[in-house]
Structure 1
């Protein structure tokens, strides 16, 4: 998958007109929220949860452009389409019904049980197949991060929320888990799950307090990029790269790194020059499954890397590439990240 492809909406204009006309006939003067409320069955039928958020309409590599939005979300919806893997993670972990649509090629194996066997392929992390989605008649659509720019088009189909990070990793996890817990009527379970994650993060930071310095890097192709702490800038380009430092308390070997979605390109000599005690590696090659690329272990198998303190002390920590690069959020993913750090620094 090419993560850098520009976002496009897969929907012929002629089909748009037909579907729009049909929707008007079926819906009359009812709003999308009204339709969703009427469609929800079982406990909580007809009830809604009000959710307010700042919708970022800019792309992943662009400066954010926000608008304030409030959406009425039906409680206990059965037909849900989720584009954001972190949201899919938390939704399924809290017991939400298997979703009827998602970007199927991007769903990690460990989240596959959260997707219905007959689910539609809703597109990609950057694109939406609006015809397929509308045919599925979802009661709720969830976007975030890479898919945030799809909000306007998808909100014409059904109530749509953008769960992109607002604030730190922990703040976003708590906020989004609380919201989804309220939608599913499992508020106490959601609060307990977040408390457990936070307690385990505290355990990891006690371990990392003994590390004098670390460096988080990303391997892409045969190249290396250094990642920096977010320094309070929790936009998409910084939040993911800073997780090792910001969430798990690793002291960075240097602050002289430029913030970028995939980090600042550096040479192998950079590793030798700064020589951190620990090296934390995210393998983007493995995360994207791009053909013709080597694993991070192979790329880092050279004399310069072998001469570093991290290599000689067996302190090169390979992080789960899908959890740290693709998802980097959600309850089960947070557990994977915690386990990675515990195993790497214990």
Structure 2
């Protein structure tokens, strides 16, 4: 895996978050005359599903005034933990059991456990008196309860991966007073993604595969559809330009697990592997390699050319967002150029 590169100042063409139909937006709130910086806020809006768990989605615009320079932030969304730390801030509370090792430095020394990704410890959070709470993805359903404690916003996937990354990094940069750092970070990531795309173009076609419970599932391009699962599945294709070995991956697999024979039949130049069981703590590192260590896979072009690339499972399956994680994704893809 290539080494991390330091963030370097460079230009970055920003995609206006306001152009994202149905997605979150952030803009500076009008400031009252002579209002102190401590009292200033940023207005944040997003489309929130207000329907019940088994009901058809009903989206309504939610708008929250977010305090600038919040002293105590609770984050249930791991990409937010990532970006806050990368921009020089820290997270006061989070579902600590879900924070990956590489993001521990984003936590305050005395960070408290805010619950799980699905269930908040409301008593503990209220006792800690946070200034801002961030949810997203798995924790989006916690909004009603958490918004009674402190300003609560949803920074989950809305639009494409890159659109969401840019929107959230620039928004958190404004909230934390780290706008320059946010712009520099995005510029560095843009350069890295361009380099990774050049590498995948040289590597030929590919297939992204999730290994779980001894079975294989092919991931497919997201086709510009929103939603966390679609974005995650399409990361290699949509962000890094991998050419799918099958023209329509979703139709070819019917959403079902694929066989080892499927790999040999379609014979991608490169196999990109995410070990879900390692990501969720159900297996030790190397489990996917053991599953793929068989005579059928050894006949594939990817195996013969040593082009089976194992991706960081936590970054690609659990977090897949934020500044440091995106650099991890870039470094993983650049393995193909080594």
Report the TM-score range of the alignment, normalised by the length of the smaller protein. 0.7 to 0.9
Deviation at 1:141, TM superposition (A): 0.2
Secondary structure, aligned partner of 2:327: helix
SS at match of 1:45: helix
Match of 2:78 in 1: 85
| 1:221/1:294 contact within 8 Å kept | no
Change in Cα spacing, 1:205 to 1:61, as seen in structure 2 (3 Å) is farther
Q: What SS is found at the alignment partner of 1:314?
A: coil
Q: CA deviation at 1:60?
A: 11
Deviation at 1:290, TM superposition (A): 1.2
1:269 and 2:261 are equivalent in the alignment: yes
Q: 1:149-188 residue pairs with structure 2 within 5 A?
A: 149-188=141-180
The Cα of 1:64 is off from its aligned counterpart by: 5.5
Structure 2 counterparts to residues 24-43 of structure 1, below 5 A = none
Query: C-alpha separation between the residues in 2 aligned to 1:59 and 1:106?
Result: 26
Instruction: Write out the 4+ residue segments of structure 1 that deviate beyond 6 Å after TM superposition.
Output: 58-63
* Alignment deviations for residues 64-103 of structure 1 (CA, whole Å, 9 cap, x no partner): 543211110111111110001101100110011x222101
Residue in 2 that maps onto 1:20: none
Q: Distance in 2 between matches of 1:248 and 1:61?
A: 35
Which residues of 2 match residues 49-60 of structure 1 at below 5 A? 49-56=42-49
1:60 and 1:237 in contact (8 A); partners too: no
Change beyond 3 A, Cα 1:65–1:226: farther
In structure 2, runs of 5+ residues without a counterpart are 1-35
Cα offset, 1:110, TM superposition: 0.9
**Structure-1 separation of matches of 2:181 and 2:316:** 25
8 Å CA contact 1:205–1:249 kept in 2: the answer is: yes
SS for the counterpart of 2:257 is: strand
Aligned to 2:322: 330
Q: C-alpha separation between the residues in 2 aligned to 1:249 and 1:193?
A: 21
User: Shift in Å at residue 292 of structure 1?
Assistant: 8.5
Uncovered stretches (5+) of structure 1, i.e. residues with no partner: 1-42
Q: By how many angstroms is 1:126 displaced?
A: 1.6
| 1-structure distance, mates of 2:209, 2:246 | 13
CA contact (8 A) 2:278 2:284 kept: no
Specify the SS of the correspondent of 1:225. strand
CA deviation profile, 1:209-258 (whole Å, cap 9, x unmatched): 22331000001111111000001112112100100000000000114333
Q: Does 1:216 align with 2:224?
A: no
Q: Given that residues 59 and 149 in structure 1 are in contact (C-alpha distance below 8 angstroms), is that contact kept between their aligned partners in structure 2? A: no
Counterpart in the other structure of 1:67: 60
Look up the SS of the partner of 1:265 in the other structure.
coil
CA distance in 2, matches of 1:60, 1:86: 24
Cα contact 1:287–1:325 (8 A) shared by 2: yes
Equivalent in the alignment of 1:47: 40
Secondary structure at the aligned position of 1:326 is classed as: helix
* Aligned counterpart, 1:307: 299
For residue 233 of structure 2, give the secondary structure of its aligned residue in structure 1. coil
TM-score (normalised: structure 1): 0.82
Q: 1:121 — aligned with what?
A: 113
Aligned match of 1:340 in 310, 332, 335? 332
Length-normalised TM-score, structure 2: 0.84
- Rounded to whole Å, the distance in 2 between the matches of 1:220 and 1:331 is 27
Q: Write out per-residue CA displacement over residues 262-290 of structure 1, whole angstroms, 9 at most, x where no aligned residue.
A: x6411111111111000000011111111
**Corresponding position of 1:19:** none
CA RMSD of aligned residues (A): 2.2
Name which of 242, 245, 256 aligns with 2:237: 245
| Contact persistence 1:58–1:149 (CA under 8 A) | no
